[in-house]
Amino acid sequence: MSGATFKELNMEMHYCWRCKCDVPMLDDVESDIFEPLIKQQLENIKIYRAKHECSISEAIGKIDKPATDKYLQITGYQENDCTEIAKHQLKKFGIQCPSCARLLRTPNATICAECFYSLPR
């Protein structure tokens, strides 16, 4: 594994509205790294399940996990569900609120869900 490149990544921590806590968010460069890994991991689960007719959680325990392994390596977070990683991409949120520094919930949001700061138009 080419660890050197990835150790240089310095992931931003941001509040996730769904998880209700700060999580490492992927920027565009990191998203480009993880998207193929996530796809691969989902594919591995699908293939394993088709072969063994088992539950998702059983399959996750058995397959290669390129996305969540890389995630653990970079962030130190043990995430078992690679679709969670896909949800934690900066491009899926809005800008950082100028008032409270949380991310707006969606790229199109104009009001902060935390402090109700309203973006000037």
Which residues are near Zn ion by CB under 5 A?
Answer: 16, 18-19, 97, 99-100, 112, 114-115, 117
Closest separation in Å from C-beta 40 to Zn ion: 21
Q: Judge whether 83 and 92 are in contact, CB under 8 Å.
A: no
Residue nearer to Zn ion on the CB measure, 16 or 59 = 16
Backbone angles phi, psi at 43, to 5 degrees: -65, -45
Nearer to Zn ion, 49 or 117 (CB): 117
**Tokens in use for 65?**
């996990």
User: Nearest approach, Cβ of 73 to Zn ion (angstroms)?
Assistant: 19
CA-based nearest residue to 26, from 17, 36, 35, 39: 35
Helix (H, G, I), strand (E, B) or coil at 107: coil
| Least distance CB 110 / Zn ion (angstroms) | 12
Comparing CB distances to Zn ion, the nearer of 19 and 47 is 19
